Amino acid sequence: MDFTYRLLHWYSLNKRDLPWRATQNAYHIWLSEIILQQTRVAQGLPYYLRFVEQFPDVVSLAKADESSILKLWQGLGYYSRARNLHTAAKEIQTLHKGVFPNDYDKIRALKGIGDYTAAAIASFAFNKSHAVVDGNVYRVLSRVFGIETPIDSTSGKKEFAQLAQELLPIKNVAAYNQAIMEFGAVQCVPANPHCVSCCLSDICIANKSNSVKQLPVKAKKTKQRHRYFNYLLLEHKNNIILHKRGSGDIWQGLYEFPLIETQKAVSEKQLLQSADFKQILCQTKFTLTRVSSTTKHILSHQILHARFYHFTLQNKLPLSSKKKYIVVKIEDINKHALPRLIDRYLSTID
């Protein structure tokens, strides 16, 4: 197949030197794939290196406590990836005696691993004939073969998966899968792809029909909702109060300041007069020392509008309220896993 061999030749000349490509260690490959979901290589690489250093194998990751994993993951976002990583490591230790399974179905059954990741691990680590289909692959195939079926439709997923499997070479499966993803990442990029220097330009239907910008097609548009976060930084004698977020929402297991979420943006006066504020502070005497400007933090399906209110407390929180929180030294805040929104805000203040 001309398409396949052209990609393999292009990859041999243009591939980036990345540590997970120089190994067939399934654990390292799995770790890189999870980190690189929703994350650029440049951002993910330092995290990969730190994880490998701190947790060199599946067993060490399985034995770690969740808080240390979340702390190491801090700044990458999509924290469910880290929690699923931990759960899957424990599954490997329990079900497979600490040895990473080499069978696609057994890999696919692990927590947090979907079709793409299972195919990537099976092919990269064990050279199994499973085609990878991620965003880069969708983009390359839709453009080169002129496929207008929406990639987020059931029929589209089936069509692309079948084509991707048909294009696999008999040998060099791992190299080919790496090649098509790399090609989409650095050559056939979403905006302004490098068509002039493309080794596939003469057989690319989108290039011939001037429809590169229209492909791939997506049927559904992501709807984003707005949320309004009012954080209370409650300080008393060099101590500050943190709250651990529970399940069922963003940032599960991460620490934040006491939070009052409102339906819309509120003024300082409205916040201080709200029932939620009075419930948190109860009869505690305080001085409001600072109010931040509004910070916008964009997630995949949500846009957060956050303000930070700094209070100096004259006495400790009543015991009944304190049960919801932990009290830490100000200098120890960064020992806890924090959402990137809070971590970035803290970096801007003294």
The residue segments making up the domain with residue 335 are 225-346
**Per-residue confidence (pLDDT) for residue 261, from 0 to 100:** 96
Q: Same domain for 265 and 177?
A: no
> Is residue 258 located within the same domain as residue 120?
no
| Same domain flag for 93 and 210 | yes
Cβ within 8 Å of residue 117, ≥6 positions away: 30, 33, 34, 37, 107
Report the mean per-residue pLDDT for the chain: 93
Name residues of the chain where pLDDT drops below 70.
1, 318-323, 350
Question: Is the same domain home to 124 and 229?
Answer: no
Burial label, 279 (beta-carbon count in 10 A; 0-12, 13-18, 19+): exposed
Asked if 135 and 229 sit in the same domain, the reply is: no
Q: What is the number of structural domains in the chain? A: 2
Which of 180, 214, 248 is the C-terminal boundary of a domain?
Answer: 214
The verdict on 59 and 171 lying in the same domain is yes
Q: Is residue 219 part of a domain?
A: no
- Residue 207: exposed, middle, or buried by beta-carbon count in 10 A (0-12, 13-18, 19+)? buried
Whole-number pLDDT of residue 300: 80
Q: Are residues 120 and 178 in the same domain?
A: yes
- Residue 235 is among the residues annotated as catalytic for this protein: no
Model pTM?
Answer: 0.85
In terms of domains, do 180 and 260 share one?
A: no
Same domain? 142 vs 43: yes
**For residue 61, what is the domain's CATH number?**
1.10.340.30
What would the pLDDT profile of 91-142 be if each residue is shown by its tens digit?
999 999 999 999 999 999 999 999 999 999 999 999 999 999 999 999 999 9
The pLDDT tens digits of the residues spanning 305-338 come to 999 999 999 887 765 666 678 899 999 998 999 9
Domain final residue pick, 191, 214, 237? 214
At 131 the pLDDT is 97
